[in-house]
Amino acid sequence: MLITQQNEIISLMPTARWDKPERLFGYLEEEESVALEPLLGQTLYQHLLDEYERLTDEYGDITATTIRPTGVAKQDPQLAHADVTDRLEAIQAGTYAPYTYAADGDVEVPKADLATVKLIRICQQIEWYKMLSHKAGLLTVSFNAGGGLNVATADDYESADEKRMERVVKDAYMSAGRAVDALLLFLEADAKGDKQFTEKWREADAFYLHQDLLFTTARELNQFLDIHGERAAYVAMVRDIRFCQNTYLSPRIGGKLLQGLLDYINGKTEEQGSVFDELVILLRTALAFYVEARREDVGGKKMARRDSFTDAQQAMAVACKYIEEHIDELGNAAVGSPIYEAVKAEEARAAAEAANARLAEQRRERQREDAHRRATATVFTGFPMVSRFTTEHKK
C-alpha cells in the first residue's frame, strides 16, 4: 500500500478525520490495482512499494508535516514552513524535502530519494481521489448488526446534502484526472532526462514513448485528433491506435515500409528528406481518422463514425498514391511493399508492352523497306529493250 498513515490522508484532504486509515485499506487497495498499477506497470509499482517502505522507515514520513526548506530555500524565512496547499508543488520544485526527527539532526535527502518522494506523492493523489470519487457514497453509510444501513455522522459536523455530495464526487474525479496527467508527465520528463524510472516503467501501457506506433506520444496524436492534450486520453487510445495501424495501414503499405517509417520517426535510420516527412503526415492523418471511427464518444452517433471511416479510406488512398509516385525515393524501405510490387509489376508490364511495340514497329519498318525495294528494282529479261519509235524513225 502507498497510503498507510493518517497524516498522509490529512495531507491529501485536510478536512479528513480518519484516525484509523486501515479501515480504508480495502478501498485504497482496489484503486491501486485498478487505477494505479496499470499506469505504472508491475515492475515500477513494486519498486515504489519497496521504496515507500524504505523512505518512511528512513525519514519517518513523506508528507507535508515533515517537510523542511532545503538548498537556497533555507535562506528565505518565508519558506520556513510548508503550507498544505502548496505541499506537492514545493516538493516537485525541489525547495522542500522530507526529513527525519533523528537525534543527530536533519538528514540531507539524496536527489534520487527526492524524485521518488515526488512520484509517490503523485501516486497517493491518484489513489486517494480515485477512491473518493468511486466510494463517496459507501463512506457515508454503515451496516448495523442486523444488516441494516445507517448514516455515518460525527460530532461538530453537519451532514452533507445531496448537492454537496455530488460536488465532492465531481471535484475528486477532476483531481484524480489532473493527478494522472501529472504522473504521466513526471515519468515522461524523467524518461527524457535522468531516466531513474524509465526501465521499470517501460513495460506499462502508459509508457510515454510507443516506438511501435506512428503516434509515439500524446502530443503527436493531439495534432491530428483533439484529445485536449491529455496524456491519460492518449494512454486510453493506445490499443485502438495499435489495432488500426496493424489492421488498416500495415497490410496496405507493407510491414517493412511501416517499420522503416517507424525507424525514421524514432531516429534509428539515416534516411532524410521531405518524402519521408510527408508520408508520415499522410499516414498519421489516415490513422487518426481510423481511430476516431472506433471511438464510442464521437458525437454519440453512428453517422459520425461512418463519416470518419470514409475520411480514413480517402486519406489512405492519398497516402498510397503518394507512395506510388515516390516509390524509388523511399529506397530499400519500400522494397517488398504491396504497393512496391504493384508499381514494379506495372512498370514491367509497361516495359514489355513498349518492347513489343518497338519490335512490331521494327517489323513494319522492314516490311516497308522490302516493299520499297521491290517497287524500285530493275527487271532483267535477257534481251535488249528497243523503242518502236526509234526503229520506225530509222526506216
Give the residue carrying C-alpha cell 511493399.
337
Place of cell 508499381: 343
Say what the pLDDT of residue 101 is. Answer: 37
The cell for 248 is 488498416
pLDDT score for 75: 45
| Predicted confidence pLDDT, tens digits, the chain (395 residues) | 888 887 788 777 776 666 676 778 888 888 888 888 888 999 999 999 999 998 888 777 777 444 444 444 444 444 333 343 344 455 445 545 554 333 344 556 677 888 898 899 999 999 989 888 887 666 666 666 666 655 655 555 556 666 777 887 888 888 888 888 888 888 888 887 888 998 999 888 777 777 889 998 887 888 898 887 677 788 888 889 999 999 999 999 999 999 999 988 888 776 667 889 999 999 999 999 999 888 765 444 555 667 888 999 999 999 999 998 888 888 888 888 888 787 777 777 778 888 888 888 888 888 888 888 888 765 555 555 555 555 555 55
The C-alpha atoms of residue 310 and residue 376 are separated, in whole angstroms, by 68
Burial of 222 (C-beta count, 10 Å sphere; 0-12/13-18/19+): middle
Question: What does the alpha-carbon distance between residue 376 and residue 142 come to, in Å, rounded to a whole number?
Answer: 120
Q: Give the span between the Cα atoms of 316 and 323, in whole angstroms.
A: 11
Q: How is the chain split into domains, by residue range?
A: 6-192, 218-338
Is residue 190 within 8 Å of 115, Cβ to Cβ? yes
Q: Which tens digits make up the pLDDT trace of 268-291? A: 776 667 889 999 999 999 999 999
Predicted TM-score of the model (pTM): 0.57
Residue 326 grid cell: 515516390
| Predicted pLDDT of residue 24 | 81
